[in-house]
Structure 1
Amino acid sequence: MKWEHAVKSFNNYNTLERGLAENSIKAYARDLRKLILWLEENDVELPADRLETQHLREFIYHMAKEINPRSQARLISSLKAFFKYLVLENYRETNPMDLLESPKTPRKLPDTLSLEEIDNLITHIDRSTAEGERNRAILETLYSCGLRVSELTSLKISDLFFDEGFVKVTGKGNKQRFVPISPYTIKVINLYKNEIRTHVNVDPKFTDTLFLNRRGKGLTRAMIFHIIKQLAIKAGLKKSISPHTFRHSFATHLLENGADLRSIQIMLGHESITTTEIYMHVDRSHLAQVMEKHHPRA
Structure 2
Amino acid sequence: MSEHLLLAPLLESYFRRRLTKQRNATSATLASYRDALRMLILFAAARLGKKPAALALEDLDRDLVLAFLDELEEKRNNSVATRNARLAAIRSFFHHVAAADPASFGVAQRVLTIPTKRAHIEVTHHLTNAEVEAIIAAPDQTTPRGRRDRAFLLFLARTGARVSEATGVNANDLQLERGRPQVLLHGKGRRDRVVPIPKDLVRSLTNLLSERGLANHEPRPIFVGVHNERLTRFGAIHIVRRAASQAVSITPSLEDKPISPHIFRHSLAMKLLRSGVDLLTIQAWLGHAQVATTHRYAAADVEMMRRGLEKAGVSGDRSARFRPNDTILQLLASI
Q: TM-score range by the shorter chain?
A: 0.7 to 0.9
CA contact (8 A) 2:44 2:59 kept: no
Q: How many residues align?
A: 285
CA contact (8 A) 2:225 2:235 kept: no
Structure exhibiting the larger radius of gyration computed from Cα positions? 2
Match of residue 6 from structure 1: 10
Match of residue 138 from structure 1: 152
- The yes-or-no answer on 1:274 pairing with 2:292 is yes
- Structure 1 segment 79-158 matched on structure 2, within 5 A: 79-90=90-101, 92-93=104-105, 94-158=108-172
- 1:278 offset after TM fit, Å? 1.5
CA contact (8 A) 1:80 1:95 kept: no
Per-residue CA shift, 1:145-167, capped at 9, x if unaligned? 11111111111111112214221
Describe the SS at the equivalent of 1:79.
helix
Match of residue 212 from structure 2: 197
Match of residue 245 from structure 2: 233
Q: Take 1:170 and 1:63, find their aligned partners in 2: how far apart are those partners?
A: 31
- 1:262 offset after TM fit, Å? 0.6
> Where in structure 2 are there 5+ consecutive unaligned residues?
249-253, 307-323, 329-335
Alignment RMSD: 2.7
Match of residue 279 from structure 2: 261
Matched residue type, 1:226? H
- Structure 1 segment 279-298 matched on structure 2, within 5 A: 279-284=297-302
Give the alignment's TM-score, normalised by structure 1: 0.85
CA contact (8 A) 1:109 1:281 kept: no
- Structure 1 segment 10-21 matched on structure 2, within 5 A: 10-12=14-16, 13-21=18-26
Give the alignment's TM-score, normalised by structure 2: 0.76
Answer with 124-133 or 176-185: which moved more: 176-185
Q: Take 1:95 and 1:61, find their aligned partners in 2: how far apart are those partners?
A: 20
- 1:129 offset after TM fit, Å? 0.5
- Structure 1 segment 26-105 matched on structure 2, within 5 A: 26-43=31-48, 46-48=55-57, 51-66=60-75, 67=77, 68-90=79-101, 92-93=104-105, 94-105=108-119
Matched residue type, 1:111? H
Q: Measured at CA, do residues 274 and 16 of structure 1 come closer, stay the same or move farther in structure 2, by a change above 3 Å? A: farther
Q: Measured at CA, do residues 240 and 83 of structure 1 come closer, stay the same or move farther in structure 2, by a change above 3 Å? A: same
Q: Take 1:58 and 1:185, find their aligned partners in 2: how far apart are those partners?
A: 50
Considering Cα pairs closer than 8 Å and 6+ residues apart, tell me whether 1 or 2 has the greater RCO: 1
Q: Take 2:154 and 2:229, find their aligned partners in 1: how far apart are those partners?
A: 21
CA contact (8 A) 1:144 1:185 kept: yes
> Where in structure 1 are there 5+ consecutive unaligned residues?
293-298
